[in-house]
Structure 1
Amino acid sequence: MHPNTLLTSILSLSAACTASPQNHGYGYGHGYSSPTTGLAKAMRENGRSFIGTAMKLRLDDTSELAIISNNADFNSITPEEDFKWALTEPGLGNYTFEKADAIAEWVVEHGYQLHCHTLLWHNQLSDYVAKGNFSNATLIEYMKGHIQAVAGRYKGICTAWDVVNEGLEENGTYRESVFYKTIGEAYIPFAFKFAHHADPHAKLFYNDYNLESAGDKWLGAQRIVKLVREYGGKIHGVGLQAHLTCEESNPAPNQTTLVKALEGLTALDVDVTYSEVDVRMKTPSTPEKLQTQAEVYERVAASCMEVKRCIGMTTWGVSDKYSWIPSTFPGEGTGDMWDENYQKKPAYDGFLKGIQSAQGYY
């Protein structure tokens, strides 16, 4: 389908398919009672933009879809996999948009924002890019072609794009990706320029993990914001992934540090989001660990509400059933707000309480 045809057909749904708040009757697991409001509803009442979740479109899992479709809790979607390079352009010039189109259509039907993820990442690259061994000019052309095709296809549909994802090492230096090794640091502003040209109205973000600790990597993210602007590019925000733990051996940052991390970036005149929130623990869970997890969720939300330009928060999935954590961190998991049986955990209440901590909520 031609991108203009796709845009017309998807956007035509929005007038007829405006989502309305629903009550799906999900009570809290673990002895909790249902709240009188929702996460996104509370966020909007505080003048912020969204609460989102990462999503793979599993139409056969109606329980998961019911949670995500409740727009009292969520009003934004970040595609977990289907917009990445290997899935949208597995071969040079060979574009496969079926799964990405399906998510875009679902989002528009439900009246949600679509935070598209991601244009450049060192992982999940197609083989023709990952193998390297080509000139600077060739890789720039590959980048330009890919970004213009993908961002251009969803022009007017994506509220925002993660243009570059995880381009830094922990010490704040640039990650030795194929893009950096071939092009140098200039690949980052080039990517932002190509993305802005493809979709001038989308908000453009740099996204990374471990920025919320306000250390060397955080300073590197500040350097990226400045670099993009030095090249005359547009950058509108930074996403702090916030993949955190509730273990004493690796505690999440305190609220003072979280606020410092956010404010250090907004001082550069960009918006910030928590873009991939989850709070893992060593399994099995215990009531005490679940309570600590809830406190971390509350702290994250409260820090966002303390910083005016923290415009939204996205969790990396809704249920432990599909969590990425156990396969990446063996022996850990239970990081989401709903358990594997779709029962709300205390984390939900903590997250909501943190949102409601904003001055003037009541």
Structure 2
Amino acid sequence: MYKVTRTAAGVGAAAAGLLLTAASVLFVSADANAGTPAAHDPAAAAPGAASSGRAAANGATLRQLAQKAGIRIGTAVNSDALADEAPYTQKVATEFDSVTPENVMKWDTVEPARGTFVFTQADRLVDFAQAHGQLVRGHNLVWHSQLPSWVTDGDFSATELRDILHRHITAEVTHFKGRIWQWDVVNEAFNEDGTLRDDVWLQKLGPGYIADAFRWAHEADPKAALYINDYNIEGVNAKSTALYDLVARLRKEGVPVQGVGIQGHLDVQYPAPHDIADNMARFDKLGVQTAITEADVRITLPASATDVEAQDEAYQTLLEGCLLTRRCTDFTVWGFTDKYSWVPGVFTGEGQANIFDENYQPKSAYTALAQDLRLAGRR
């Protein structure tokens, strides 16, 4: 990991001023550009599109800009696209210095049958990352979703299921020991009201499964940073407060929770979480790392110029929250190209959530992130 030289004072008012300046430069109103002929407007064909020269940040990649800003910039990776599509592979290798597997480290892929572990696809991604000087976020060890049927339909006793969970975590973390930078140990454990999700783990094992999972992962690889990861915890709300309270309690008990992952799946229909820096500061004071782990910003189609401005603002809000938080280590987008986005398949009528379009052209959201990173790197 790059050495983070940001201090509490150093990322305070001065950095905030720089970032606000960036926002004022980027978000020129549509009226101000109304007289520009469409033929000469590189964004005219598709809202959010950006010319390659402008979006490429004067030749610097996001990876290069992030290094100067003292954080890692990452992407979730579609392993099939990485293997089969050269433009996709090239962007992953050059624009990002950390990677997160979209699916190939999840339980249904890694342990499809009890006691049978398949790491082939995950190993390929880790090998790719090592070859390109990238760190790997392991995603994930304990989740209510993408479980194989033998787990969900097994009708195991509490003792049996606890042993199954212990063995799974130990086997996977041990397999990748020394090659994973951060693990999302427990993923999406909370409901919106701050109660714990009533999934198979809570039903059979009780709330103690969370502490157990962290202890087992730490035993298997003491050097990996261990995260609890969730969505809709960007701002200060019932869910993020419940997570904060849990992390505070577990750390007092000596449980090795070392990081909080804030996913960052946003929608331009709702205001950007402008209290994210205040929220992240709470976790900073606990002494834990934070990270934006799955950023994307979806739009109801067709996208308008206003939607695109809102998308750019949302991406910047997430990044600025990280840049203004001393222990925030990395900012990861959940896939970088609209070509392989998960959004259209889940949210009917929505899309264009990523920072590159389907043809791998950088969008104005890319430019917005690049501008913030450049300004942060000048401090």
> Structure 1-normalised TM-score?
0.87
Listed as ranges, the matches of 1:271-350 within 5 Å are: 271-350=289-368
- Which stretch of the first structure deviates more once superposed, 209-218 or 222-231? 222-231
Pairing partner for 1:62 from 86, 96, 112: 86
The CA deviation string for residues 266-291 of structure 1, in whole angstroms up to 9 with x for no partner, is 12110100000001110122333222
Corresponding residue for 1:10?
Answer: none
The amino acid that maps onto 2:235 is S
Q: Give the share of equivalent positions with the same residue, in percent.
A: 35
Note if contact 1:298-1:353 (Cα within 8 Å) is conserved in structure 2: no
Deviation at 1:202, TM superposition (A): 0.4
1:122 aligned residue (144, 152, 169): 144
Distance 1:332 1:160 in 2: 31
**Alpha-carbon deviations, 1:225-279, whole Å to 9, x = none?**
13433543211100000001122xx22212xx01111111112110100000001
Provide the secondary structure at the position in 2 that maps to 1:41: helix
Paired residue for 1:41?
Answer: 64
State the shift of 1:201 in Å: 0.6
SS in structure 1 at match of 2:126: helix
Whether 1:251 and 2:275 are equivalent positions in the alignment is no
What one-letter code is carried by the residue in structure 2 that aligns with 1:235? V
Corresponding residue for residue 163 of structure 1: 185
Looking at structure 2, the residues matched to 30 and 311 of structure 1 have their Cα atoms a distance apart, in angstroms, of 28
SS at 1:107 equivalent? helix
Separation in 2 of the partners of 1:224 and 1:40? Answer: 33
Quick one: which of 82, 86, 105 aligns to 2:104? 82
2-side partners of 1:87 and 1:231: how far apart? Answer: 33
- Deviations along 1:169-200, one digit per CA (max 9) or x if unpaired, are 00111001100111111000000000001111
Determine the structure 1 residue equivalent to 2:20: none
Structure 1 match to 2:19: none
How large is the RMSD of aligned CA atoms in angstroms? 1.6
Q: Which structure has the higher relative contact order (CA within 8 Å, separation 6+)?
A: 2
Structure 2: 5+ residue runs without aligned partners?
A: 1-41, 44-48
Question: For 1:177-256, what aligned pairs fall within 5 Å after superposition?
Answer: 177-247=199-269, 250-254=270-274
How many angstroms apart in 2 are the aligned matches of 1:132 and 1:232? 32
The one-letter amino acid paired with 2:62 is: L
Task: Tell me if the contact between 2:57 and 2:371 (Cα under 8 Å) persists in the aligned partners.
Answer: no
Structure 2 residue matching 1:115: 3-state secondary structure: strand
Asked whether the 8 Å contact 2:343–2:351 carries over to 1, the reply is: yes
Aligned to 1:52: 74
The whole-number CA distance in structure 2 between the counterparts of 1:304 and 1:41 is 17
Residue 109 of structure 1 deviates from its aligned partner by 1.1
Q: Is the 8 A contact 1:188 1:228 kept in 2?
A: no
Structure having the higher Rg: 2
1:106 is displaced (CA, Å) by 1.0
Alignment match, 1:270: 288
Q: Which residue of 1 aligns with 2:170?
A: 148
Deviation at 1:301, TM superposition (A): 1.3
Which whole-Å CA distance do the structure 2 matches of 1:260 and 1:131 have between them?
42
Residues 132 and 224 (structure 1), Cα distance of their counterparts in 2 relative to 1, 3 Å cut: farther
Judged with a 3 Å threshold, the aligned counterparts in structure 2 of structure 1 residues 231 and 135 are, in CA distance, closer, same or farther, namely farther
Q: Deviations over 1:191-234 (max 9, x none)?
A: 00000011111000000000002101101211231343354321
Code of the aligned partner of 2:362: K
Q: Which amino acid aligns with 2:69?
A: N
Shift of 1:46: 2.4
Contact 1:298 1:352 in 2 (8 A): no
- 1:260 alignment counterpart: 278
Shift in alpha-carbon separation, 1:131–1:231, aligned structure 2, 3 A: farther
Distance 1:137 1:246 in 2: 45
How far apart in 2 are the matches of 1:97 and 1:140?
Answer: 22
**In the aligned structure 1, how far is the partner of 2:315 from the partner of 2:87?**
23
Matched, 1:138 2:138: no
Match of 1:94 in 2: 116
Structure 1 segments (4+ residues) deviating >4 Å: none
CA distance in 1, matches of 2:140, 2:312: 29
User: In the alignment, which residue of structure 1 is the partner of 2:378?
Assistant: 361
Q: Determine if contact 2:78/2:340 at 8 Å carries over to the other structure.
A: no
Task: Report the more deviating stretch, 288-297 or 51-60.
Answer: 288-297
Q: Secondary structure at the match of 2:321?
A: helix
Shift of 1:132: 5.2
SS at match of 1:267: helix
Return the letter of the residue paired with 1:107: A
Paired with 2:320 and 2:228, the residues of 1 have a C-alpha distance of 22
1:237·1:271 contact (CA, 8 Å) conserved in 2? yes
